Chains A and B, each alone.
Chain A
Amino acid sequence: MKPTPMQTIPLKQSRTLRIEILRHNPADPDSHPHLQVFEIEEAETMTLFIALTEIRQTQDASLQFDFVCRAGICGSCGMLINGRPGLACRTLTRELPDTIRLAPLPGFELIGDLSVNTGKWMRGMSERLETWVHRENIEAIDIDAVEQRMAPELAEQLYELERCIECGCCIAACGTAQMHEDFVGAAGLNQIARFRLDPRDTRSDADYYELVGDESGVFGCMTLLGCEDYCPKNLPLAVQLAFLRRKMARQGL
């Protein structure tokens, strides 16, 4: 079988992109939020990671943004791209119009320009929801012995929920999270669903109810489902939230 030539969608024609960035540096008392416009020549297979790096290197060295893996894996680069939350590193410019407006994810502390402190938010969520396996004597497990068995399908289901990369897109897309600062959001509720499913975790529904059985938890969700629409990992958030709500409602009776 002869391979096909490398498939790339041909560029319409070489474009000049107009990139408008919402800028603000809280470390500078004279800074105030404003849009700054940059123009760059589009290149083939250009991603927003490449475009922003180029702008920083050739036009404005003070521009702040966060990229780590640049492969859609680590969750660092969530931002609003023409108003929609998404991962900038894997967004190809050829899929965007000539004018691209970028803004930091709302709902998180601003570090500067496109950089927001999702890490702090997520750590707070983990501490609050205790997103780890709870079991007796976890410090004294026998690591010489053969591991406990688990149904192969269950391991796969757990991974399905474990794929969250804590990018914050679901929080930025969530009406409740934008209005109520202490709402744990889909990212948090998904963690509860994940540990609830895990037989290694000995917590009961009563314990989970303590954590999320109120308006800042599962009953705060207005089922607008922006979270699922914008989740870059396509996590089954709507189903999980509905399921968890039913379980928690029963628990609350």
Chain B
Amino acid sequence: MQIIYTDVLVVGGGLAGQRVAIGARRRGLDTIVLSLVPAKRSHSSAAQGGMQASLGNCLGGAGDNEDIHFADTVRGSDWGADQAVVRMFAHTAPKAIRELTAWGVPFNRVASGERTISVDGESKVISEPDESHGLITARNFGGTAKWRACYVSDGTGHAMLYTMSNRAIAEKIPVHERMEAVALICDGPRCCGAIVRNLMSGELLAYVAKATCIATGGYGRIYRVSTNAVINEGIGAAIALQTGVATLGNMEAVQFHPTGIFPAGILVTEGCRGDGGLLLDGAGHRFMPDYEPEQRELASRDVVSRRMEEHIAAGHGAQSRFGEHLWLDIRLLGEAHIASKLREVKEICQYFLGVDPAQELIPVRPAQHYSMGGIRTDHNGHSQTLTGLFAAGEAACWDMHGFNRLGGNSVAETVVAGMIVGESIADFCASDAGALTVSTTLVQESLRREEGRLQAIANSTGDESVYELTGLMQDTMTRNVGIFREGEKLQEAVADLRSLQQRAAAIRLRSTARGASPELVATYRLRHMLRLAQCTAYGALQRTESRGAHFRADFPRRDDSQWLKRTLARWPDPDADTPELSYEALDIARMEIPPGWRGYGERDYIAHADSARRQQQIDALLADVPETDRAARQQALMPFRHLLPAHLRADNQRVGDGQ
């Protein structure tokens, strides 16, 4: 039996995991990163459109600051987010992008002087300010008041991840590639590392660590149509759930992106619409302004996706032999813009559709895209129930996205979370709580349990096929737990998933190949994914309101009086067929922005009695603080800087400061 000892084990080599590792390593801790694939192939590399940070350099971003970024994010979340965490995030995002820039990311820059852009279907000449020439520029994205998505053409995630990975290599952080964490090692409520399977040889080994951080990304592959990479199966979140001690937050909050290409579901970035692209229906009519006069194509993703499906359901889709879809029109942006700022989009259209987007329309339809839910942690990324377990990035729910994430906020979150959680892990390891004494017997038992599980799968004589059951899970999720949800369909999904869980016990492997054994991998992962799917479906069934991306046709209004709370799922009994749900209230009395209308989408919601009270209190608190002193106004309402590591607390400087 091989046991590897380290201070910090980071499970996941995407942007979040590697930034956590760099932070911990810089504090002098031995740190190992695990990844299913070479780190640079992690799904972060697929992020296209941009990273939100309120630099305010370009004309469209003029006057931007942390306050506006904060407000956009809270509204985007439909008031589901933890506002203190959103504050920490909005404050640290400019630092994150400046760090990445110093490390080498070639973010696109402002070119001073006139240029032609496309706004609302018309071309318009704007003039970029001289004083910003050569600073980082930004593009427009949905649900934001300013142009704030900083970008590297439409390969933003690729450039960020390569720089991050190269930095990690420079700092000599070992990345154990093609290694999969398949279970956590727990000593009661203390996480002590993970059992890991080598995906090349099939061998199992144990990693023992003072702190374990899960940064394994999203769980989009529980759905049939998804923009996510095929490795986004949520195993990190699932092994946390399996402990019975850690909790998952808001698993029913799943984002659908408006523009997956049809039918493959591959993403074309929101930057297409941010840069001026339009959505058209089967008749060539631009329909979004009919539904959303305020933000049109650039309302938040949950709203645009719903409007699109609504429009298709009303009979306005374009017909094709694969079914109905709508069109994305970026022809008006022109050849030159597409060839330089939307290169990946161009390639994707060319290779997968045989379409030149400068000349032709792109067939699109909403597809599963992002997992707002994940491992529930505090603002330091530390699980509140399983000591020594941390989480960061898309796998986590420290809760900055609530029920809908804004485009560009995710890659920003991964790096910001990495900067914060890396520090909190180091603090934890240095504290008394961080000391770890773990018996070899416990590690051996954990290892043997996993060996037993895998052996049982290999020996099973049932007659089910893993691939068939996986398909059935994905079908029921896409059909019943999609953009429009309702009680009956959700009941059906819960029942389907229950029966699939039973059937999964009878999967028999067709192949007896030694080594990697992809079929064995698919089988143990399916069991985990079925639990995540059940948390999603069951949570959605219980939540009898609509909030952000969670829309119930039978309960179409947001209900702050009953549902201003976060869903927590635990799975303490391994034989149970549904999770144990509990709820964590969001406290309006501590919010900087009490719940209200988002500025787009449905105007109609059931208010909480405390909202008006808090607003009065806010008005009173601000009465004596001058309008111009925004830091003091913020501080009066919801102090947050003390929550950040000391070196991240200072003000962000901007080019227009003092004017």
Contact = CB atoms under 8 A, between A and B. Distances in A.
Given A159-B152, A159-B155, A162-B159, A146 B41 contact: no
> Which of B137, B167, B169 has the largest number of chain A CB atoms within 10 A?
B169
B103 interface: yes
A165 to B, nearest CB: 7
Nearest to B40: A166
A149 B133 contact: yes
Contact of B318 (A3, A56, A111, A145): A3
B242 interface: no
Nearest to A159: B106
Contacts of A133: 102-104, 163
Contacts of A70: 229-230, 266
Contact of B516 (A111, A117, A118, A200): A111
Contacts of B315: none
Interface residues of A, number: 77
A71 B46 contact: yes
Interface string A1-44: 11111111100000000000000011110000000000000001
Interface in A79-121: 90, 92, 111-112, 115, 117-120
B102 A200 contact: yes
Contacts of B38: 76, 118-120, 122-123, 166
A152 B110 contact: yes
Contacts of A74: 37, 40-41, 43, 45-46, 229
B347 A68 contact: no
B475 to A, nearest CB: 15
B421 to A, nearest CB: 17
A242 interface: no
Contact of A146 (B135, B167, B351, B354): B135
B615 interface: no
Given A62-B519, A68-B37, A119-B41, A25 B169 contact: no
A155 B351 contact: no
Interface stretch (A136-144, A174-182, A213-221, A245-253): A136-144
Contacts of A112: 200, 515-516
Contacts of B230: 67-70
Interface of B: 26, 37-43, 45-46, 55, 95-99, 101-104, 106-111, 133-137, 152-153, 155, 158-159, 162-163, 165-167, 169-170, 175, 177-178, 200-202, 229-231, 263-264, 266-267, 280, 282-284, 318, 320-322, 325, 327, 340, 343-344, 347-348, 351-355, 360-361, 363, 467, 509-519, 650-655
8 contacts: A2-B283, A3-B361, A9-B354, A74-B46, A111-B178, A156-B108, A156-B340, A159-B152
Given A3-B282, A27-B514, 20 more contacts: A6-B363, A27-B202, A27-B515, A57-B467, A61-B513, A62-B511, A68-B43, A69-B41, A71-B348, A72-B348, A74-B37, A75-B41, A92-B352, A120-B38, A132-B163, A138-B102, A159-B152, A159-B159, A162-B162, A166-B38
Interface of A: 1-9, 25-28, 44-45, 47, 56-58, 60-64, 66-76, 90, 92, 111-112, 115, 117-120, 122-123, 126-127, 130-133, 135, 138-139, 141, 143-152, 155-156, 158-159, 162-163, 165-166, 198, 200-201
